[in-house]
Chains A and B, each alone.
Chain A
Amino acid sequence: MKIDHSQPLEYSTQQNQMNILGFWIFLGAEIMLFGTLFASYFTLNNGVGSGPSGSEVFEITPVLLETIILLTSSFTIGLATHAMRINNKKATLAFLAITLLLGLSFLGVEVYEFINYYHEGLTLQTSAFSAMLLLTLGTHGAHVTFGLFWGLFIFLQIKKQGFTVGTTNKSFIFSLYWHFLDVVWIFIFSFIYLKGMM
């Protein structure tokens, strides 16, 4: 395995470079995935049937809270990557832990939000709109949940092994994933919630 020391550690072998490129392409596929969800949402968002519409159930407080939490976590994962680049293991682990805790609290607020919807009579079976809303939010939420486990595994590996060709590569790719989830949320926030509240 040839290590190129002129590159940051996560880019230092050919396999590492391929892993990162492969993940970017995967994110391209993810854009199509969420793109399809958004397109379907815009097609069905007036199909409320006899159930409530978006403007009747959306509440700004939990949504704002989720947005602030997730944007902050995107910032902290960026700090984690920065700490990794300057070879500060302690700071990397700390920022990674903060990121995961923020992700967990995001999920907590989202679960609260879903329970709220349920009490207001908006469930999967209510209407095409409700199902589409919950499917889009749920797919994003499932991604965050997956990311929590993934991030935890990487946390444990960095803690045990320190910065290696493998662990730096993994945590860099994880940071790409986490930023991507944030970008998706910005679209959800703008085009589902804000547009829905108007």
Chain B
Amino acid sequence: MEFFERFAIPNASPLIYASMVAIGLTVVAIVIGLTYFKKWGYLWKEWLTTVDHKRIGIMYIISALLMLFRGGVDAVMMRLQTAVPDNSFLDAQHYNEVFTTHGVVMIMFMAMAFIIGMMNFVVPLQIGARDVAFPRLNAISFWLYFTGAMLFNISFVIGGSPDAGWTNYFPLAGTDFSETVGINYYMWALQISGIGTLMTGINFIVTIIKMRAPGMKLMKMPMFTWASLITNAIIVFAFPVLTIALLMGTFDRQFGTHFFASTNGGMDMLWANLFWVWGHPEVYILILPAFGVYSEVISTFSGRNLYGYKSMVASMVLISFMSFLVWVHHFFTMGHGALVNGIFSITTMAIAVPTGIKIFNWLLTMWKGKIRFTVPMLYSVGFIPLFTIGGVTGVMLAIASADYQYHNTMFLVAHFHNVIIPGVVFAMLAGLTYWWPKMFGFMLNERIGKWGFWFLSIGFCLAFFPMYITGLDGQARRMYTYSAETGFGPLNMVSFIGAGLMAIAFILIVYNVYYSFRHSPRNVGQDPWNARSLEWATPNPVPHYNFAVDPVVNSSEAFWDAKKNGHVLFPEKIKKIHMPNNSGLPIILAGFFFIFGFSFVFSIWVGVIIAALGIIGCLAYRSFEKDPGHYISREEILETEKKLGGASNEN
């Protein structure tokens, strides 16, 4: 029995037991459902082993939505706990665990997955490619991300959750102050999904550099593709730093080293520096694809080409460089000299300049445009003022001397939610609604979508604007409760109500999927939004080979040219198409990684060794495997195109 005792939860509560039961029942229900409807074969052949960038993208987005709800429940629990003074819904330890998992899940497993899913689906279509450069590697990326996410999520029912915040500062995150295996989970979940993200980065850079349609020069790429290229460059240069930081953290916790200790020559600030050398570029990894989505949506629904294309590209390149030069602003108060603080204060403020250029470009794109207020456009229009408020408070935080007042208060919490929610979450919802017909061949209901938007926006304002005020009044973040004399009570109650409205918004958004699936007409045609860029030149939903004929383009708005200026997109005849084969290896490899991570968390070395051998075995198998891919015949393409009414069916 001693062996199993380590898996017990250290701070159990009825809530956790209820979750355990819920998880167990869900797993049983899924297994029974799949068996009853005989869907195991379908699931394995069509999804689990797929290397199709579109299906991998959809799986990323589904996982991201699941994680959104996991992180969202954490958020509502926090707001509920702090809604009234001296509340006892959660105790201090439980509250620590909830804000830690909320942060990690939302950043690493929701936002990252959502943007990578969106990139997976859209980028190859926008550049006229049949898949990414390394389809098999892409599947491995997804399954490693999924492994990391699952590993992180089981922490709270097996062994205990991490509890040192998503920034995981040492020495708090060391074994002296965090004795459970929670932070081991943090280290390995992030490590494994981080490897997947790094490979995504490499994959997409090569895809975008090498696989663009003839005629698509770099400066003729759609803006979302540009954003993706720059984002992936940041990923490749930022994630290795996290890899090393996590490795050192693992060694400190599990092998008794002194990297981040305050004894034997260690330095706890080294963690904070390494974490934010990765962490600040990470913020721009999240926001740049969002900027890309807004550029596409605003230009489409204003009926105008994007204003200031070159300055859009230049500002993103500038942002990506500067994102590596600002990390110290996350800890101005932790004992640097005035000179260091001054330099990082200035670089931080300077980064607002290229961002500001982009805001003006969007406004000028809309200027004199024929604006259609569809759901994606509503999110984009809502984004501009809300994000600007977040940006301005960011510049306030960048003033190092003033930061001594704001540091670690709710003001900071309000600021970064103010940029992440209207920035990333709005963009992902806009992009999802915009590209939904491409994914599934029907539209999401506009009316329910608009209700969702208004609930989300108003809920957001109510939830986060009060925090600016309580923060300036001195309410510290990550405090599980406060006394009535502080006067924070009423504003926190407003926050809680706002969180409730946001929860309703997300329920509406998911209900919209169900409603539209049941009721939306299926023949939406090729171009439901009157869109401009190349991905709309494929039928909806997109056939698995994407383009029947390789497109030829001459601007960033190839589809618009074809519609309005008589540009011939598909000059060639249909030929047989070479496609990569599906493979079960990625999910098997990820399975070994899961065993590896889980065993390492609990220091079960036998499991670690067996899983490591499994991983090496998978790599060896891949090295010796011959995988020539397969061809889709001309007849099959003609038939599919006829059925879908594709753009090239006349050939």
Contact = CB atoms under 8 A, between A and B. Distances in A.
Interface in A100-151: 124-129, 131-132, 135, 149-150
Interface in B235-293: 236-241, 243-245, 247-248, 251, 255-259, 261, 263-267, 270, 274, 277
Task: Place the interface of chain A in its size category.
Answer: 35 or more
B202 A14 contact: no
A72 interface: no
B265 A128 contact: yes
Contacts of B241: 32, 36
B258 A26 contact: no
Contacts of A1: 578, 628
B237 A28 contact: yes
B209 interface: yes
Contacts of B277: 36
A44 B202 CA distance: 31
A61 interface: no
A29 B265 contact: no
B265 A40 contact: no
Contacts of B205: 22, 25
Contact of A157 (B198, B257, B624): B624
B203 interface: yes
B134 interface: yes
Interface in A2-52: 14, 17-19, 21-22, 25-26, 28-30, 32-33, 35-37, 40, 43-44, 46-51
A72 B501 CA distance: 67
B29 interface: no
Nearest to A156: B624
B210 interface: yes
B210 A129 contact: no
A153 B615 CA distance: 15
Contacts of A21: 206, 209-210
Contacts of B238: 32
A37 B244 contact: yes
B116 interface: no
A172 to B, nearest CB: 15
A149 B613 CA distance: 13
Interface string B411-431: 000000000000000000000
A193 B207 CA distance: 40
A43 B209 CA distance: 37
Interface in B188-219: 198, 201-203, 205-206, 209-211
A131 B257 contact: yes
Contacts of A124: 251, 255-257
B616 A149 contact: yes
A9 B213 CA distance: 24
Given A28-B237, A29-B237, A22 B206 contact: yes
A51 B265 CA distance: 10
Contacts of A44: 259, 265-267, 270
A149 B620 contact: yes
Contact of B244 (A33, A43, A48): A33
B134 A126 contact: no
Interface in A148-198: 149-150, 153-154, 156-157, 166, 170
Given A44-B266, A125-B257, A129-B265, A32 B240 contact: yes
Given A29-B202, A36-B241, A36-B244, A47 B264 contact: yes
B623 interface: yes
Contacts of A153: 620, 623-624
B9 interface: no
Contacts of A33: 240, 243-244
Nearest to A51: B264
A46 B265 contact: yes
A47 B134 contact: no
Nearest to B132: A18
A18 B134 contact: yes
B178 to A, nearest CB: 19
Contacts of A49: 258, 263-265
Contacts of A29: 198, 201-202, 236-237, 239-240
B258 A128 contact: yes
Contacts of A14: 210
A184 B316 CA distance: 32
A132 B264 CA distance: 12
Interface residues of B, number: 44
Contact of A128 (B245, B261, B623, B626): B261
A33 B248 CA distance: 12
Given A26-B202, A36-B274, A128 B264 contact: yes
B261 A40 contact: no
A135 B259 CA distance: 10
B223 interface: no
A131 B624 contact: no
B198 A127 contact: no
Contacts of B270: 40, 43-44
Interface string B160-190: 0000000000000000000000000000000
A66 B209 CA distance: 39
Nearest to A49: B264
A41 to B, nearest CB: 11
Contact of B203 (A22, A129, A166): A22
Contacts of B255: 124-125
Contact of B248 (A26, A40, A129, A149): A40
A73 B350 CA distance: 47
Contacts of B626: 166
B56 interface: no
B574 interface: no
Contacts of B616: 149
Contacts of B236: 25, 28-29, 32
Contact of B623 (A37, A127, A150): A150
B531 interface: no
B267 A43 contact: yes
A157 B238 CA distance: 35
Contacts of B206: 18, 21-22, 25
Contact of B259 (A25, A36, A46, A128): A128
Contacts of B251: 124, 131, 135
Contacts of B257: 124-125, 128, 131, 135
Nearest to B137: A22
B75 interface: no
Contacts of B244: 33, 36-37, 40
A49 B620 CA distance: 43
Nearest to A136: B244
B78 interface: no
B609 to A, nearest CB: 15
Contacts of B264: 47, 49-51, 126-128
Contacts of B64: none
Nearest to B244: A36
Most buried by A among B134, B202, B257, B267: B257
B267 A128 contact: yes
B456 interface: no
3 A-B pairs closest in CB distance: A47-B265, A49-B264, A128-B265
7 contacts: A22-B205, A25-B202, A33-B243, A36-B240, A36-B244, A37-B244, A124-B257
Given A18-B133, A29-B202, 9 more contacts: A22-B206, A26-B202, A40-B270, A128-B258, A128-B266, A131-B257, A135-B248, A135-B257, A153-B623
Interface of A: 1, 14, 17-19, 21-22, 25-26, 28-30, 32-33, 35-37, 40, 43-44, 46-51, 124-129, 131-132, 135, 149-150, 153-154, 156-157, 166, 170
